[in-house]
Structure 1
Amino acid sequence: MRTIKFLYVILLCTSSLVAQDNFYFPESNAEWLEKPSKDFKINADKLLEALEFAKNNEYSGSRDLRIAILQGFEREPFHEILGPTKKRGGPAGMILKNGYLIAKWGDTKRVDMTFSVTKSFLSTVAGLALDKGLIANTNDKVGQYVWDGTFGGDHNGKITWEHLLQQNSDWSGELWGGKDWADRPPMEGGLDDWKFRALNEPGTVMEYNDVRVNVLAYALTHVWRKPLPWVLKENIMDKIGASTTWRWHGYGHAWTEIDGLQMKSVTGGGHSGAGLFINTEDMARFGLLFLNKGKWKSEQLISESWIKKAIAPSKPNVNYGYMWWLNKKGDRHWEGLSENIYYAAGFGGNFIVIDRENGLVVVTRWLEPGKIGEMMTLVNASLP
């Protein structure tokens, strides 16, 4: 009897794994194949509640994102728009189950800024560099690869690729006119205190800071010796059948010379304009790639070992990996939902949520940022 029970459990587990890995992948320039949610025993009425919630809780900031950015970061000294911006559309999103489209709302083909969701794309470019041997180890000091002084000195010389990816480097300096100390200053204390503060040992304190993210983009541009949008296009976006409409911008003056050629160094967000401009469907394709552990159809585009690194909690912040947010029990935990959920998040309520256990990708745009946990709870309530 015990043997029969044991075999039954194995069969159940094997069946579950086959169901999870039997994904549909949309072709290039083709309409996404839809399936009714009931085919997956998902409650259609409850799923509709999640959609209505997303549509009824639009981000409260201006649809003119130039205004929204300036208002959102008005506390920062010297803050200004340095790269392109674009007026946004209304709430939009898609929910995939095993790759199939089971729900969508809004204009999913409209190209909009996606702000810090860009960071998860930047992280992926770093992963490609590791997979291809351009970076030997994320624990290597960045100064071994970029020796122009950006990572010189007693403090910056200690910084590794992992420190930059986990946003705990405390890199000190100025890039493209942005001073690290002026970026997202703390609410308490004076700015002079922040400017002259003691630096934290790299790897010990997480500080969300776009200047330092842009330093990572700069360093990766020098490692790849080509513009990062080319790298992303050739290695990921073309292969997952993304549209030709997405763009990855840098600041107007962010040029660097490599091998005698002038190259634009892109940003990891839209904090001062620029970053990734992309439609909802291309974001969903990117999410589906990660849902399937870096594999698109039969081709492994980004290694599974990289994804494991990217979604491992950092020591200073259990909710943050390599520029992916993690639903672990910490300050950003969504109570009642799987701790294996991870997601990309950007200003204004842009999200790509990966729920591997349930075979789900949820992309939602222009949702009031504090409402994402509630929305995911509603999605979860619709599941069998």
Structure 2
Amino acid sequence: MLGPVKKRGGPAGLILKNGYVLASWGDTRRVDMTFSVTKSFLSTVAGLAADRGLIRSVDDPVSEYIWDGTFAGEHNSGITWSHLLQQNSDWTGSLWGLHDWADRPPREGGIDDWKHRELRTPGTVMEYNDVRVNVLAYVLTHLWRQPLPRVLKEELMDPVGASATWRWFGYDHAWTVVDGLKMQSVTGGGHSGGGIFISAEDMARFGLLFLSDGSWEGEQLLSPGWIEQAVSPSAPNPNYGFMWWLNRPGSRQWEGVPESVYYAAGFGGNFIVVCPEQDLVMVLRWLEPSRIGEFVGKVFEGI
């Protein structure tokens, strides 16, 4: 492991309708790893940057914003923010000693094949890859010029009333220097440790913020325009937006559940499910991932 890990708790969760708790189970205040649920938080930090004009357009090449060589070369220089957010950039390189080709490599071929593969045009093929997700976190750290956990805390988590118990970690050796200050570059998941450690109750607040189009108690924390972009299907994968999974027709669609539903998903059955038409948010922790769709469908039957 390269970053912190934590022994998991038992199954837990919350179901909220119209802002009220319909049901809860397990220890909803226990802080646990969320694995790739972190990606939806990370993409939201990018949304905050776009709302504040730090990102002029998600269709801009990222190379226009960072000049340290991370996006040098003919291929990488054409990668946009949108490509990184939709995981279809095919960025090539290494970060924190980890190579892009070594993260979830194909079953066919060997190391030499993976190293010298033909690169796909950005925007054409989705490939789930934590190294590239962590590249996004690294670039956003330099864009914000401050640690991303601080940005998330001050811009979103404190305003929605989240507890002080959540944390966002990077790898132990993943440190960068911005304006002469050393700061940790966080990860977008717990694939090798790190990511967001958080309670089910604080996850629910994050989900409720999206359900309310970024508004919280009369204050617009995140623009509705960003949320609309974030949950729009990408061309290579209609079930994926800006690091949110979408219940659209495709291989990931849940039967009997509206197409408007979208969700953050992490290893081990960690989910934040947002159902706009039903004014419903579900937080599910440590449930069998293959049964999540069935669970969500039964909730819809029950309401």
Q: Would you say same fold, with TM above 0.5?
A: yes
- Structure 1 residue matching 2:87: 3-state secondary structure: coil
Tell me which of 268, 281, 285 is aligned to 2:201.
281
Aligned to 1:311: 231
Instruction: Give distance in 2, aligned partners of 1:194 and 1:316.
Output: 21
Instruction: Give distance in 2, aligned partners of 1:332 and 1:186.
Output: 20
- Structure 1 residue matching 2:291: 3-state secondary structure: helix
User: Where do 5+ consecutive residues of structure 2 fail to align?
Assistant: none
**Backbone CA RMSD of aligned residues:** 0.7
TM-superposed CA distance for 1:194, in Å, is 2.2
TM-superposed CA distance for 1:339, in Å, is 0.3
- Structure 2 residue matching 1:242: 3-state secondary structure: coil
| Letter aligned with residue 89 of structure 1 | G
Tell me which of 269, 286, 292 is aligned to 1:349.
269
Matched, 1:144 2:64: yes
TM-superposed CA distance for 1:167, in Å, is 0.1
Aligned to 1:183: 103
- Structure 2 residue matching 1:96: 3-state secondary structure: strand
Matched, 1:217 2:151: no
| Letter aligned with residue 27 of structure 2 | D
TM-superposed CA distance for 1:190, in Å, is 3.3
Instruction: Give distance in 2, aligned partners of 1:220 and 1:378.
Output: 39
Aligned to 2:94: 174
TM-superposed CA distance for 1:195, in Å, is 2.4
Aligned residues: 303
| Letter aligned with residue 112 of structure 2 | D
Q: Which runs of 4+ in 1 moved over 4 A?
A: none
| Letter aligned with residue 153 of structure 1 | G
Aligned to 1:226: 146
Matched, 1:300 2:220: yes
Instruction: Give distance in 1, aligned partners of 2:247 and 2:52.
Output: 29
Aligned to 1:132: 52
Report the structure, 1 or 2, having the larger strand content: 2
Instruction: Give distance in 2, aligned partners of 1:366 and 1:192.
Output: 37
Matched, 1:270 2:182: no
Instruction: Give distance in 2, aligned partners of 1:311 and 1:183.
Output: 25
Q: Deviations over 1:20-54 (max 9, x none)?
A: xxxxxxxxxxxxxxxxxxxxxxxxxxxxxxxxxxx
Aligned to 2:242: 322
Aligned to 1:120: 40
Instruction: Give distance in 2, aligned partners of 1:133 and 1:359.
Output: 30
- Structure 2 residue matching 1:102: 3-state secondary structure: strand
Matched, 1:104 2:24: yes
TM-superposed CA distance for 1:166, in Å, is 0.1
Matched, 1:331 2:251: yes
User: Where do 5+ consecutive residues of structure 1 fail to align?
Assistant: 1-80
Instruction: Give distance in 1, aligned partners of 2:193 and 2:171.
Output: 7
Instruction: Give distance in 2, aligned partners of 1:195 and 1:267.
Output: 23
Tell me which of 269, 289, 296 is aligned to 1:376.
296
Matched, 1:207 2:127: yes
Report the structure, 1 or 2, having the larger helix content: 1
| Letter aligned with residue 30 of structure 2 | R
TM-superposed CA distance for 1:336, in Å, is 1.6
Tell me which of 106, 114, 118 is aligned to 1:194.
114
- Structure 1 residue matching 2:255: 3-state secondary structure: coil
TM-superposed CA distance for 1:196, in Å, is 1.7
Tell me which structure has the larger Cα radius of gyration.
1
- Structure 1 residue matching 2:126: 3-state secondary structure: coil
Aligned to 1:63: none
Instruction: Give distance in 2, aligned partners of 1:192 and 1:150.
Output: 22
Tell me which of 158, 161, 169 is aligned to 2:81.
161
Instruction: Give distance in 2, aligned partners of 1:251 and 1:196.
Output: 27
Q: Deviations over 1:335-383 (max 9, x none)?
A: 1210000000001110000001111000000011111101011101102
Instruction: Give distance in 1, aligned partners of 2:36 and 2:112.
Output: 27
TM-score, L = length of structure 2: 0.99
TM-superposed CA distance for 1:265, in Å, is 0.2
- Structure 1 residue matching 2:283: 3-state secondary structure: strand
Instruction: Give distance in 1, aligned partners of 2:153 and 2:188.
Output: 16
Q: Deviations over 1:162-205 (max 9, x none)?
A: 00000000000000111100001123343432222100000000
| Letter aligned with residue 95 of structure 2 | L
Aligned to 1:45: none
Matched, 1:251 2:171: yes
| Letter aligned with residue 19 of structure 2 | G
Instruction: Give distance in 1, aligned partners of 2:103 and 2:266.
Output: 16
Instruction: Give distance in 1, aligned partners of 2:257 and 2:107.
Output: 31
